Chains A and B, each alone.
Chain A
Amino acid sequence: MVPLTWYLVLAAGLFCIGVFGALARKNAVGVLMGVELMLNAVNINLVAFWRHTAVSGMTGQLFAIFVITVAAAEAAVGLALFIAIYRQRRTVNVEEIDTMKG
């Protein structure tokens, strides 16, 4: 069996890439993709912990399934928002969406 540490390092790496994407991307869809990477890192963590350390039950796997479904709902709401904003402003670049400041 692959040791737990390897999975944790993979998940931590993926999470960091996701954080970088969420912070550095200018396109709102890019930010959302970064967030999805972070969520996938969490899923790797959950399933790896479930396989290696869980006392009993299927909690880790179930948690991962919930994360996947909620992420889909979140992405759907986000994309709908992006469409609405794009129709108004012809852009989803977060640096150009700045009518409010201060």
Chain B
Amino acid sequence: MPEGYLPILVMLLVTGAFATIALVVSAVLGPKRSNPAKDEAYESGILPFGDARRRFPVQFYVIAVLFILFDVEVILMYPWAVSARKLGVFGLIEMAIFLGILLVGFVYAWKNDAFKWQ
């Protein structure tokens, strides 16, 4: 059994060695000249502004939770989709009921202005 993993071990060793050599060589040979542009968080990118740890609106949070819910519940359509032909009309009706219940939840969030940016 473990012999099958030999290539992976070789690859691990090779990548590890390559990374180490690259770091050591650049540290030893590379010229070290500092200037202000090099010290920026994103060199030659957009200038950072403000603190990343600032507070952001709780609205993001609510939308994220709702997104997770509806996103993950849709996973349940996969098993149905795989066997849709076998389940036939019965499966279709069941899936319609399931989506109907999800829809009630969606309407609830909608009517309570959960999607509105206040």
Contact = CB atoms under 8 A, between A and B. Distances in A.
A–B proximity contact (CB within 8 A): yes
A68 interface: yes
Q: Which bucket holds chain B's interface residue count?
A: 10 to 19
B79 A62 contact: yes
B61 A83 contact: yes
Interface of A is mostly: helix
Contacts of B75: 65, 68-69
B94 interface: no
B52 interface: no
Given A79-B61, A83-B58, A83-B61, A72 B69 contact: yes
Contact of A68 (B1, B58, B69, B72): B72
Given A79-B61, A79-B65, A83-B58, A69 B1 contact: no
A8 to B, nearest CB: 16
Interface string A61-75: 010011011001101
B56 interface: no
